[in-house]
Amino acid sequence: MDKLTLNKELVPAIQSIVFNREYLYLVGPVDLPCDVNSQVRMFRWYSWIKTPEHIDQKDAQIKYLLDRRMENSQVSSVLTFGSLTENNIFVRLHSICHTGDIFGSQKCDCGNQLRASMERIVEHGSGILFYLANHEGRGIGLMNKALTYLLQQSGYDTVEANEILGLPVDCRSYDEALCILKHLRREGTITFLTNNPSKIEAARRYGFEEVRYEPLWVNESVHNHKYLMTKIEKTRHMLNREVSR
C-alpha cells in the first residue's frame, strides 16, 4: 500500500492518549455489525495497546504498531454504541473470560453478562463496552485459572483455590479502561452495568463524579450457584438488585 493511502486511511484512526507516564495507542473505530438478540446492531470497535514510547510522527506510529507483532499477546477492545454525548450512558467494564465468553461455560456468569450488557446498551440507546484482555481469572491469566478450576472441582471455592496456590484473589486494574473512557466521554453521567463495587470505586478514584450502577445478575443456575455465592460472601458483590440513583 502506498504511503498516501496509508495516511488517508490509518492516520485519523490512531490516537495517542497520555496514561500516567506512558501512552495508550487507540486504534479505530471500525464499524462492527454485531448480533444482539438475533438482530444486527452496529457497534464501533476500537482496540488499544499501552506503550512507554512517545512517537510524534503518525507514520512512525503506524510502523511501530506493525512492528510490535502482537499475535502472542492479548489486546483489549472497546465497543461503543449510539451517541456518547447523551446525558446518561451505560458502561460495562468486562473482564475477559475464555471459558464463559467463548464456550458459554455456565461455571461462571461472564458469557451471559457479556451478552446481557450488549443488550442493555442497545436497549438504552448509548453506551460503551470494554473487553479487558489482561483480566482473565480476575487477573491471574488463563493457565493459572485452569489450575484453580482443578481445585474448584475438588470442592474449594474461587477464593480458596487462589489462596491455596498463592495467587492473588483479584489483581485487576481498571485504570487503562477508565483513561480511555475519559477520552471517549468527557462529561455526563455514567451508569456502570455491574454487581462489583470495586469497579464503581475505581471510577470514582479516577475522577468520575456522576457515577451510578445497574446490577447485572443473569444466569443463576446449579452450575454457578457456589461461584455467585462466593462473589457475594467474599468479594463484596452486591446482591441488591435495585438500580442506584
Binding site for Zn ion (CB under 5 A): 97, 100, 108, 110
Nearer to Zn ion, 110 or 122 (CB): 110
Packed helices 197-205 and 175-184: angle between N→C axes, nearest 10 degrees: 60
Q: Give me the residue label for grid cell 435495585.
A: 242
Nearer to Zn ion, 49 or 110 (CB): 110
Catalytic residue among 92, 120, 138, 172: 172
> Least CB distance from residue 231 to Zn ion, whole Å?
11
Nearer to Zn ion, 27 or 114 (CB): 114
Using CA atoms, how far apart are residues 195 and 181, in angstroms rounded to an integer? 19
> Least CB distance from residue 51 to Zn ion, whole Å?
29
Catalytic residue among 41, 115, 157, 170: 170
69 is annotated as an active-site residue:
no
Nearer to Zn ion, 185 or 237 (CB): 237
> Least CB distance from residue 186 to Zn ion, whole Å?
32
Using CA atoms, how far apart are residues 99 and 148, in angstroms rounded to an integer? 13
- Sheet containing strand 88-95, edge to edge, reads 14-19, 22-36, 39-51, 76-81, 127-132, 88-95, 189-193, 211-214
| Residues forming beta bridges with residue 146, ordered by sequence position | none
Eight-class DSSP state of 72: G
172 is annotated as an active-site residue:
yes
> Least CB distance from residue 140 to Zn ion, whole Å?
12
What is the set of active-site residues? Answer: 170, 172
